Amino acid sequence: MDIAIIGLPQSGKTSVFNALTGGAAESSSAGGGSEVHIGVVKVPDPRLDVLAGMYNPRKVVPAEIKYWDIPGASAEGQGSGITGRHRNVLQAADAFLLVVRAFDHPAVPHPSGTVDPGRDLASTLEELSFADIEVLDRSAQRLQDGFNKAKPDERPRVTRHLEAVNKVKAGLESGVPLRRQELTESENTFIVAYQLLTGKPVVVTFNIGESGDDVFLSELHLPSEASHGLGEVSLSAKLEAELALMPDEEAEEFRQDLGLGESALAQVIRVSYATVGLVSFLTVGEDEVRAWSVRNGMAAQEAAGTIHTDFTRGFIRAEVIPYSDLARCGSMAQGRREGVLRSEGKTYPVRDGDVIHFLINV
Ligand SMILES: Nc1nc2c(ncn2[C@@H]2O[C@H](COP(=O)(O)OP(=O)(O)O)[C@@H](O)[C@H]2O)c(=O)[nH]1
Ligand SMILES: [Mg+2]
């Protein structure tokens, strides 16, 4: 899974990135760096440790999330760079972590002069929307030209495509992001190809500074369509970035002294999983014990494809046992004897903690 970190300049994006990845990418008060930082984070999962104890595998592989820190467009203006040159990264992302500045500090002046999380969040969400409208505008123009040149039997398809584009555009113009719009399956097949930004899940991350109080979406009076379904988390990016550089034990001591709860990483992963609707299924064996993240309820056949694309085609059956049953039974074989290991078909909706053995025809 790829999550792109977006937000206005000086909101703390690079600090959040460092807090999550334990990296030391330079955060800057002078307009930010210009490179994209990429960091891979292993999703903590205590179930893997238990399974590793049972199987003694050669490798234990946690699920991974890749975070992308995109530089803002501070050199060019006030925007968050959404329409800028890193647009392809944004389009390919599975979700956004939208950093909103809620800390005030004399050493770090806010580019707009005042700290106002509601204003900044609304304007960044609006930017996502504008970027999508621009894409759809260009496409509508092309489709219109294409229609005039198309052969008569091709025209109905072009017309349906154009109608889908115009429908989504009208929705965006009235303030409804793609993720809140209802499309038919055929409309959706046209629209998916655009990888529109407002179709992606958003986790709002309020950067509250060292002594700030948590901020809540419900207090910001955003238009309900724009804010519906957003994930939210409050953290202190600079402090968390410093803690992320310390050895685990030392960081834990600081955390207790400062009365901080869960680490930024744990919080963000938890909220990201919930907002994106992800779960982890597990595979076990002497070679490796591994977690895979997929959308909750993904069909078993498609989930098999996350392991290897050929597994989708060769899918025969999935043997499934919930993690807690496997941990109790001690082995798949015992699970089978107790009747808690089930044989499932292609359409079985995968749930969190399913330990799955795929039977594949290769
Ligand atoms: N006091 C304070 N400063 C912060 C906090 N988060 C970020 N900063 C500072 O704000 C500036 C901009 O942060 P940075 O992460 O580079 O923001 P970006 O432009 O969004 O990537 C840097 O000088 C950071 O040290 C925070 O929680 N508290
Ligand atoms: Mg930065």
The bound ligand whose nearest atom lies closest to the alpha carbon of 71 is 2
Token pair in block for residue 225: 């369509």
54, 330 Cβ separation under 8 angstroms: yes
Listed in sequence order, the residues at least 6 apart from 126 whose beta carbon sits closer than 8 Å to its beta carbon are none
Rounded distance, CA 97 to CA 204, Å? Answer: 6
Residues 256 and 340 in one domain: no
Pocket test for ligand 1, best of 5, 6, 8, 10 (most atoms within 8 A of CB): 10
Q: What is the chain's percent helix, strand, coil content, to nearest 5?
A: 45, 20, 35
Residue 343 lies in a domain: yes
Q: From ligand 2's centre to the CA of 11, what distance in Å? A: 8
Give residue 249's domain range. 2-42+64-113+201-276
Residue 306 lies in a domain: yes
Q: From ligand 2's centre to the CA of 269, what distance in Å? A: 20
Q: From ligand 2's centre to the CA of 139, what distance in Å? A: 32
Return residues with CB closer than 5 A to ligand 2 (ion): 13-14, 32
Residue 281 lies in a domain: no
Residues 205 and 83 in one domain: yes
pTM for the whole structure: 0.89
Nearest residue (by CA) to ligand 1, atom 3, is 238
Provide the 10 A C-beta neighbour count for residue 71: 22
Rounded distance, CA 121 to CA 286, Å? Answer: 48
Rounded distance, CA 153 to CA 282, Å? Answer: 49
Which of 68, 107, 105, 108 shows the shortest CA–CA distance to 88?
68
The domain that holds 244 is classified in CATH as: 3.40.50.300
Cα torsion 3, 9, 11, 16 to 10°: value is 40
Residues 133 and 173 in one domain: yes
Residues 19 and 73 in one domain: yes
Place of tokens 């591994």: 290
DSSP string covering 231-265: EEEEE-HHHHHHHHTS-HHHHHHHHHHTT--S-HH
Number of domains in the chain: 3
Look at residues 244, 276, 308 and tell me which one is the last residue of a structural domain: 276
Work out whether strand 59-61 and strand 202-207 pair parallel, antiparallel, or are unpaired: unpaired
Residues 251 and 304 in one domain: no
306, 37 Cβ separation under 8 angstroms: no
The domain that holds 328 is classified in CATH as: 3.10.20.30
Which ligand 1 atom is at minimum distance from the Cα of 209? 27
Place of tokens 């002069």: 113
Residues 192 and 209 in one domain: no
Each of the 362 residues of the chain gets a pLDDT tens digit; together they read 899 999 999 999 999 999 999 886 666 554 455 678 999 999 999 999 999 999 999 999 999 999 999 876 444 445 666 766 788 899 999 999 999 999 999 999 998 899 999 999 999 999 999 999 999 999 999 999 999 999 999 999 999 999 999 999 999 999 999 999 999 999 999 999 999 999 999 999 999 998 789 999 999 988 888 888 899 999 999 999 999 999 989 999 999 998 888 889 999 999 999 999 999 999 999 999 999 999 999 999 999 999 999 999 999 999 999 999 999 999 999 999 999 999 999 999 999 999 999 999 97
Which ligand 1 atom is at minimum distance from the Cα of 241? 6
Residues at CB less than 6 angstroms from ligand 1: 7, 9-15, 27-29, 32, 72, 103, 105, 108, 207, 209-210, 236-238
